[in-house]
Amino acid sequence: MPDILDEILANNERFLQQTQLPHVGHAPRKHTAVVTCMDCRLINMFEPALGLERGDVLELRTAGATISTPDRPQAANDLIRSLAGGVYLLGVRRVLVIGHTECGLANVNPTVLTASMQALGVDPQELIQKEGLGDLNGLVNWTGAFNDVHVNVQEVVNVIRSSPYLPRIPVHGLVIDINTGKLTLVDRDSRSSL
Ligand SMILES: [Zn+2]
């Protein structure tokens, strides 16, 4: 495998020679935060599909565009922390949660997950015990795995809407088709923006 770090450093030198970026402020122009997945196929596709330019929105990416189950009740997790920073420090007044089809976090097979962990020297049972995850289901929930992307988007929307850390701003839910870029609305929030 060629060293990705060397490759990236060489690419970066070329980039600096060829490109001079205009200065853009850190507050998102469209006063919007977008929560989506880490999927590699979103690169060079996601923003054009939404018509977004550099400086327009905050982009927050988590595996599955989700919040894992142990974090959900108080929703005091890192995604909420990031949204709070966006709202209170950077002027965000609406949130879009955008899951995608064919997500790696959909329908996670527990056997494949534990076999992969074992192959890399991590004992799933020991982890479940040490971290108080209960059982294999608890471990799968910890990864944030889900069965239906639409249901997951709706759940994440609900968690964000009900977070005590955030004001009552509109939180919309959508799903993007990873192959075509087509957006489908899951939940349009009827709350008006502050
Ligand atoms: Zn995904």
**Distance of CA 67 from the midpoint of ligand 1 (Å):** 12
For 87-131, write each residue's pLDDT tens digit. 999 999 999 999 999 999 998 999 999 999 999 999 999 999 999
Per-residue pLDDT at 138 exceeds 70: yes
Q: How far apart are the C-alpha atoms of 20 and 15, rounded to whole Å?
A: 9
Taking the centre of ligand 1 as the mean of its atom positions, its distance from the CA of residue 101, in whole angstroms, is: 8
146 forms beta bridges with: 106
Q: Give the pLDDT of residue 14.
A: 98
Quote the percentage of the chain above a pLDDT of 70.
95
103 assigned ligand-binding residue: yes
Between the CA of 99 and the centroid of ligand 1 the distance, in Å, is 7
What integer pLDDT is reported at residue 84 of this predicted model? 96
Cα of 22 to ligand 1 centre, how many Å?
31
Reduced to 3 states (helix: H, G, I; strand: E, B; else coil), residue 142 is helix
For tokens 């964000």, name the residue.
160
Q: Which residues of 97-127 are buried (b: 16+ CB within 10 A; e: fewer)?
A: bbbbbebebbebeeeebbeeeeeeeeebeee
Q: Tell me, in angstroms, the distance from the centre of ligand 1 to residue 183's CA.
A: 15
What is the model's pLDDT at position 69? 72
User: What is the 130 CA–ligand 1 centroid distance (Å)?
Assistant: 28
User: What is residue 71's predicted lDDT score, i.e. its pLDDT?
Assistant: 66
**pLDDT exceeds cutoff 90 at 169:** yes
Q: 């471990």: which residue's tokens? A: 139
pLDDT band at 2 (very low <50, low <70, confident <90, very high): confident
Distance 177 CA to ligand 1 centre (A): 11
37 marked as part of a ligand binding site? yes
Q: What is the pTM of this model?
A: 0.92
Which residues, other chains included, contact 14 with Cβ-Cβ below 8 Å and sequence gap of 6+? none
**d(CA 9, ligand 1 centre) in Å:** 27
State the distance from the centre of ligand 1 to the C-alpha of 13, rounded, in angstroms. Answer: 31
| Cα–Cα nearest to 30, from 86, 97, 99 | 86
pLDDT of 1 > 70? The answer is no
135 is in an annotated binding site: no
> What is the structure's pLDDT at 76?
66
Q: What is the mean pLDDT of the chain?
A: 93
The least confident of 93-107, 129-143, 165-179 is 129-143
CB 164, CB 158: distance < 8 Å: no
39 is in an annotated binding site: yes
What pLDDT, on the 0 to 100 scale, is given for residue 16? 97
What residues contact residue 106 under an 8 Å CB cut-off, 6+ apart? Answer: 64, 145, 146, 147, 148, 149, 152
Please tell me what DSSP assigns to residue 31. -
Q: Which of 47-51, 131-135, 162-166 has the highest mean pLDDT?
A: 47-51
